Structure 1
Amino acid sequence: MWLSVSRCGEVVEATWSSCASMDSDKAIIGKIEKCGKDLSWWNKNIFGNVRRELSKKRKMLIEEEAATINESKNYNLRSIYC
């Protein structure tokens, strides 16, 4: 999901290049930790709570599928898939 957004790579590159360029194991571990923190922040601000949104959409889908069966209407169902 992250890789579908070009900004993800930019976050990694910016974080990696902003850290000290020492080649020690400690410096590399520090870069990885900082990159993880920056990506976590980015994920929260770009995608929000994906699990909550998926749960909400599943519930909507179940409700609309039931309504479609009962009413033979599918215009609301189409809007959920888009």
Structure 2
Amino acid sequence: MVVVDPSDGAVLAMLAAPRRGGQCVLGAQTWLTERNLLVSDWVEGDLWSWDVASGRVLRVATSPVNGLNVSVSGEVLVRRVS
């Protein structure tokens, strides 16, 4: 997953799931703050908060079922995990 500056296309940050051997499994869900992006791992069913500025990643939720892909309204999710 890559975050780019929309004004010039410069790469600001990059996040990868190292365990997948090239398979793309991460999906951006919603911005929680100006620097925190909520990321889903569709294979594991986890949700992660990624601090794009520092690179720190924290798991905020885990699905009991692997491979579960759940989409949640951004506004509802921001209220619940912020």
For Structure 1 versus Structure 2, the TM-score category normalised by the shorter chain is under 0.3
**Structure with a larger share of its residues in strand:** 2
- Name the TM-score, length of structure 1 as normaliser: 0.22
Structure with higher Rg: it is: 1
